[in-house]
Amino acid sequence: MSKNYYDAADLRKFGKITEWNEELGAKFFDYYGKVFEEGSLTAREKSLIALAVAHTEQCPYCIDAYTKDGLQKGITKEEMMEAVHVGAAIKSGATLVHGVQMMNIVNKLDS
Amino acid sequence: MATKSLKARNNDIANTERQLEILSNGIFANRELPTFATKIKETNQFPLRPKKLEILQINLGYMCNQVCDHCHVDAGPDRNEIMTIETMNHCLEVINKTGAQTLDLTGGAPEMNPNFRWFVEEASKRGIKDFIVRSNLTIIKANKKYHDLPDFFKKHGVHVVSSLPHYTKGKTDKQRGNGVFDKSIEALKSLNKVGYGMPNSDLRLDLVYNPSGAFLPGNQQALEQDFKKALKADFDINFHNLFAITNLPISRFLDYLIASENYDDYMTALVDAYNPVAVQNVMCTNTISVSWDGFLYDCDFNQMLNLKVASNVQHISDYHEELLQNRNIVINQHCFGCTAGAGSSCQGVVA
């Protein structure tokens, strides 16, 4: 058993999840592959969305994968950082918008 | 950014035997990764054999006005290996009789060979179908004596293939040196001005993209679209096609991989992306590479590793196409660079 919860070498083994459930694993990877194909959005746009979400999910494997994917697609570091800020803005906005709930409760209870 | 070649710096990796040692040891020796020979045996493609010869690629010398970080030639202003007239004459004799349809001149900066223009004039008389000169672009703006190169290329119907790692200044200059991007843009404008790269123009201008670090190139077509859109919008520049080329783990790129501790991961990425379909069309199967001193190689990369063709004919002065075609191609672990993903060659993807 690894001493760390996360090991960079595990990313390469992602495909192995199929070994313990062929049907669901295969369906997942098939779906995953389709999602990232060129569609109404370009593969480049999807890669930037994935990078932002990878950060908000705080998934180190996904950050590794989609930073590399961005480099391969010729995405610049400035574009990547802007995408991360989009994710961060939604995260902080999502926190702050709950402030309204706090305000509602205070306004109701505190005369 | 270095201003001298590995050779001038007496760097260990300038020694080709040392490079081959690195490529055979480590993760390949301890069998964490399969060797290239093992991989191609899986699909019965070993030994790798040539198909019809299509491209004669001639390296006119390792001298260059640039010292790019990832140069597989280890080219630079301090390299004085330059093809002589005598060797050029041997090449012309071969061009007369070869079945190859494409002549591909490379370097270094081939234009820096003092007999470059004479050689192009002579070679162009020999009715080659596709006559390529690989130009680094900045050479056109490096000195007054090179300013008329676009007209010279046009006069001889040369197909210009030029490196441009990115359509942004930051990424290009980081890899190729400060000021390279601006000069390259100026050079592209000069080429466009005489008709190169314009829509429907017969004057072919293609760009070569290679990644600016330890990662593989993305989809060639998507990159081409991004380059076209950005270069048109930002600079009103036109070009025909973009060739995406994978960086091979040799020479300065190998040095970079090791120094940045990316070597194992990069080799793993290449092996993971191995595509047996790409093996069928890998460039060594249709190319002969000639070095500045007239020796023959399966490709430009083998030339830089000093891996000569496995044939009784090893020099341009003894050239015999039929004998040469009956050979096994020399392979090593660097070959994984040409078979990753959609594959890679001097003409871009192969699968």
pLDDT tens for chain B, 351 residues long, are 678 999 999 999 999 999 999 999 999 999 999 999 999 999 999 999 999 999 999 999 999 999 998 999 999 999 999 999 999 999 999 999 999 999 999 999 999 999 999 999 999 999 899 999 999 999 999 999 999 999 999 999 999 999 998 999 998 998 888 999 999 999 999 999 999 999 999 999 999 999 999 999 999 999 999 999 999 999 999 999 999 999 999 999 999 999 999 999 999 999 999 999 999 999 999 999 999 999 999 999 999 999 999 999 999 999 999 999 999 999 999 999 999 999 999 999 998
Whether residue A102 is contained in a domain is answered as: yes
- Segment 20-49 of chain A within 8 Å of chain B by CB: 38, 42-44
Q: Are residues A59 and A103 located together in one domain of the fold?
A: yes
Domain that holds residue A107: 44-111
Q: What is the pLDDT of residue B168?
A: 94
Residue A34 Cα, gap to closest chain B Cα (Å): 16
| pLDDT of A1 strictly over 70 | no
Whether residue A71 is contained in a domain is answered as: yes
Domain count along chain A = 2
Distance CA B148, CA B127 (A): 23
Q: Are residues A73 and A36 located together in one domain of the fold?
A: no
Residue with tokens 């198909």: B51
pLDDT in tens, B214-234: 999 999 999 999 999 999 999
pTM of the model: 0.92
**DSSP assignment of chain A:** --SSS--GGGGGGGGGHHHH-HHHHHHHHHHHHHHTSSSSS-HHHHHHHHHHHHHHTT-HHHHHHHHHHHHHTT--HHHHHHHHHHHHHHHHHHHHHTHHHHHHHHHHH--
pLDDT in tens, A42-92: 999 999 999 999 999 999 999 999 999 999 999 999 999 999 999 999 999
Kindly identify which residue of chain A lies nearest to residue B212, measuring between CA atoms.
A71
Confidence band for A15, pLDDT divided at 50, 70 and 90: very high
Whether residue A88 is contained in a domain is answered as: yes
Paired sense of beta strands B287-290 and B296-297, if any: antiparallel
Residue A71 Cα, gap to closest chain B Cα (Å): 7
Q: Are residues A63 and A94 located together in one domain of the fold?
A: yes
Q: Are residues A17 and A68 located together in one domain of the fold?
A: no
Q: Are residues A52 and A32 located together in one domain of the fold?
A: no
Interface residue of A11, A37, A72 to substitute, partner B, most B CBs within 10 Å: A72
Residue with tokens 């590479």: B289
Q: Are residues A57 and A110 located together in one domain of the fold?
A: yes
Taking each helix axis as running N to C, give the angle between helix A60-72 and helix A43-56, from 0 to 180 degrees, rounded to the nearest 10: 150
* Average pLDDT of the residues of chain A: 96
Query: What CATH number should be reported for the domain holding residue A105?
Result: 1.20.1290.10
Q: Are residues A101 and A60 located together in one domain of the fold?
A: yes
Q: Are residues A65 and A111 located together in one domain of the fold?
A: yes
Distance CA B62, CA B293 (A): 11
Q: Are residues A65 and A89 located together in one domain of the fold?
A: yes
Give A-chain residues touching B341 at CB under 8 angstroms: none
Interface contact B178, partner A, CB < 8 A: no
Q: Are residues A89 and A63 located together in one domain of the fold?
A: yes
Whether residue A1 is contained in a domain is answered as: no
Q: Are residues A78 and A92 located together in one domain of the fold?
A: yes
ipTM over 0.85: no
Residue A73 Cα, gap to closest chain B Cα (Å): 5
- For B128, half-sphere exposure in the C-beta direction (CA atoms, 13 angstrom radius) is 31
- Segment 132-171 of chain B within 8 Å of chain A by CB: 166-168, 170-171
Kindly identify which residue of chain A lies nearest to residue B341, measuring between CA atoms.
A72
Cα dihedral: A72, A77, A80, A85 (round 10): 170
Give B-chain residues touching A68 at CB under 8 angstroms: 215
Q: What is the pLDDT of residue B11?
A: 94
State the count of interchain CB pairs (< 8 A) between A and B: 35
Q: Are residues A33 and A54 located together in one domain of the fold?
A: no
Give A-chain residues touching B209 at CB under 8 angstroms: 74
